[in-house]
Amino acid sequence: MRLKLTWKIWLLIVCLILSVLAISPRLSTEGLVVKSVQYNSSIYHQGLTQGEIVKSINGYAINSMQDYSSAISKIFIDNQSAKITITTDKNSYVYLADSPPEITLSKIPRTNIKMGLDLEGGARALVSPEIKLNEKEMRDLIAVTNQRLNVYGISDIQIKPVTDLEGNIFMLIQVAGATPSDLEELISKQGKFDAKIGNDTVFVGGNKDITFVCRDDATCAGIEQCQTSSDGEYCRFSFVIYLSEDAAKRQANLTQALNVNQSSQSGGYLEKPLDLYLDGSLVSSLMISSDLKGQVATKIQISGSGTGSTRESAIKNTESEMNKLQTVLITGSLPYKLEIVKLDTLSPLLGQQFINSILLIAVIALLAVALVVFGRYRRIVSSSLVVLTCVSEVIIILGVAAAINWNLDLPSIAGIIATIGTGVDAQIIILDESRSKEFIGIKEKLKRAFFIVFAAYATAFVSLLPLMWAGAGLLKGFAITTLIGITVGVLITRPAFSDLIRLTEKE
């Protein structure tokens, strides 16, 4: 038997291959992927970033969590500082450390399909500001929150604005994997910012002490100079902030008591720096210029630096340091309270079991569908074609989801189930129309079938649209997978199915 494949069938085959490539299942994986890097840790400053794949540490190959912990225990066996060489897929990082690198690692996922929080575990918070924000304020709030969570070492986070049908704007925060128990506090805390000299507070965040932070304005904020130093490139930034009268006086009183640091070559700085704390942890230390001693100055130049292996990366790092510092100062001045309107923390424990159970449902349900179809038509070929088409629809949906980086959550899976349901319906219509006893050609019959299939598609499509936005987008996954599914069905799999039916019916 030789089947002549039509272009529609070829299209299906090509789509299937592309989908499998997009999902790209890996049979063996080497290394561990970096899930998060603690902000301001030594390894952070070396430039290791999230998403890199750690291949080895000090020559020990890293392929599992056990490999990692045994390597770390061998390196730090005598509790002394050691030279660490981390080799990743992108780079090699060498530095001295007295504690293990502040990173979290996890196994490289076997496929490119990403699971949503409700399957992978993690935390999700929907945060609503007390007052209605505009887009720019929301962007600032997100930058601030990102910064704040970074300061606490939570890096594997996603923060984005979401709006709902009523036009309310929310901030959706998602943290994957295990989550800290005090997440709620971290998010809802308004942020306590202190600038101290020694143990004395000079000024705190909030518009009481800081009246203005210069930002996005080249005349009062920017990178000043870059130079080459012994261990790479080095750049300085500075920007201006304005203090209130009271804060400026406090600063004058405190600096009056300080001596000028004589050991410094230029002699330009006071003996104690100005330390910036966010919610109790040190973010940055600024040297105080000696001419500020005892002065009531409301305008303060805040400066700092960034380094990098090349000039370009040094500028980039310096800009990001400046941005962080500005954010920190504004953080304290966040003028609105935040309310957590929804907070879910989900255990990652059951994730795999859950996915297995869903697969079980899919397999048994497909078998049941095949049985009903077989009971009706008594033809193995037709039943298996129905199953084949369903399976290919699911593969293509997963392929598209992987390609667009969509996180498959529970609503998305419900959407895939809905698609299979309507997909089977459409195939049965095609089967029945093609077998109708009317005296017209099979082409005409299939055309009729497609009228019904398209009509069903159009109604399903329009009835799903509202879900894209309703309820702050928490159910968007359902709409997305279903829309992908029914569109793939009507454009790719069902035309191919009808050609396959035509080929088999001919015999």
Partner 1 sequence: MKENLSQAYDKYYKIILVLPIALLLISLGYLANFYFVNGDIMKKDVSLTGGTSVTIYDEKINVADLEKVLSEKLNDPSITKLSDITTGKTVGVTIETQSGENDTVTIIENYLGYKLDSKNSDIEFSGSTLSSGFYFQLLQSILLAFVLMSFVVFFLFGTSNQTKAFAAILSFAAAKLTFPNVSVISVSSIILCFAAIVAAFYFSKSKKEYIISAILTILAIFVFFFSSYYLMIIIIPILIIIYISYSIPSMAVISCAFADIVMTLFFVDLIGLKVSTAGIIAFLMLIGYSVDSDMLLTTRLTKRSTGFGSNNSRIFGAFKTGMTMTLTSIAAVVIGYLISRSFSDVLSQIFLILAIGLILDIFNTWITNASLLKWYVEHKEKNNSSEVIQNAS
Name residues contacting partner 1, limited to 377-436 (CB under 8 A): 410-411, 413-414, 417-418, 420-422, 424-425, 428-429, 432, 436
Q: Which two tokens stand for residue 70?
A: 């045994």
Stretch touching partner 1 by CB under 8 A, among 73-81, 217-225, 253-261, 372-380: 372-380
Q: Which is nearer to partner 1, 61 or 360 (CB)?
A: 360
How far apart are alpha carbons 477 and 332 in whole angstroms? 36
Stretch touching partner 1 by CB under 8 A, among 148-156, 255-263, 296-304, 454-462: 454-462
* Number of Cβ atoms within 10 Å of the Cβ of 83: 10
How far apart are alpha carbons 122 and 350 in whole angstroms? 12
Q: Which long-range contacts (CB under 8 A, 24 or more apart) does 60-67 make?
A: 62/31, 62/32, 62/105, 63/29, 63/30, 63/31, 63/32, 64/32, 64/107, 65/32, 65/105, 65/106, 65/107
Contact between 124 and 174 under an 8 Å Cβ cutoff? The reply is: yes
How far apart are alpha carbons 140 and 138 in whole angstroms? 5
How far apart are alpha carbons 160 and 174 in whole angstroms? 9
Q: Which is nearer to partner 1, 206 or 348 (CB)?
A: 348
Q: Which is nearer to partner 1, 91 or 459 (CB)?
A: 459
Q: Which of residues 193-222 bind partner 1 (CB under 8 A)?
A: none
Amino acid at 446: L
The CB-of-372 to partner 1 minimum distance in angstroms stands at: 5
Examine residue 168 and tell whether it contacts partner 1 (CB under 8 A).
yes
Examine residue 374 and tell whether it contacts partner 1 (CB under 8 A).
no
| Closest alpha carbon to 325 in 158, 195, 134, 200 | 195
The CB-of-268 to partner 1 minimum distance in angstroms stands at: 50
Q: Which is nearer to partner 1, 157 or 226 (CB)?
A: 157
Q: Which is nearer to partner 1, 165 or 282 (CB)?
A: 165
Q: Which is nearer to partner 1, 77 or 349 (CB)?
A: 349
DSSP secondary structure letters along 312-333: HHHHHHHHHHHHHHHHHHHHHT
Examine residue 452 and tell whether it contacts partner 1 (CB under 8 A).
yes
Contact between 360 and 343 under an 8 Å Cβ cutoff? The reply is: no
How far apart are alpha carbons 152 and 492 in whole angstroms? 48
Q: Which of residues 83-142 bind partner 1 (CB under 8 A)?
A: 118, 121-123, 126, 128
Examine residue 463 and tell whether it contacts partner 1 (CB under 8 A).
yes
Q: Which of residues 254-313 bind partner 1 (CB under 8 A)?
A: none
The CB-of-126 to partner 1 minimum distance in angstroms stands at: 7
Q: Which of 66, 219, 353, 405 binds partner 1 (CB under 8 A)?
A: 353
Stretch touching partner 1 by CB under 8 A, among 39-47, 104-112, 323-331, 452-460: 452-460
Q: Which is nearer to partner 1, 224 or 339 (CB)?
A: 339
How far apart are alpha carbons 34 and 85 in whole angstroms? 15
The CB-of-317 to partner 1 minimum distance in angstroms stands at: 33
Examine residue 460 and tell whether it contacts partner 1 (CB under 8 A).
yes
Task: Please work out the total of residues on this chain that contact partner 1, with binding judged by CB under 8 A.
Answer: 80
Q: Which is nearer to partner 1, 281 or 357 (CB)?
A: 357
The CB-of-369 to partner 1 minimum distance in angstroms stands at: 5
Stretch touching partner 1 by CB under 8 A, among 104-112, 212-220, 292-300, 352-360: 352-360
How far apart are alpha carbons 394 and 390 in whole angstroms? 6
Q: Which is nearer to partner 1, 166 or 231 (CB)?
A: 166
Q: Which two tokens stand for residue 426?
A: 């459409």
Q: Which of residues 40-59 bind partner 1 (CB under 8 A)?
A: none
Q: How far apart are the first and last CA of the chain?
A: 10
- Among left, alpha and beta (phi > 0; psi -120 to 50; other), residue 394 is alpha
Stretch touching partner 1 by CB under 8 A, among 145-153, 174-182, 307-315, 399-407: 174-182
Q: Which of 365, 388, 442, 503 binds partner 1 (CB under 8 A)?
A: 365
How far apart are alpha carbons 307 and 227 in whole angstroms? 10
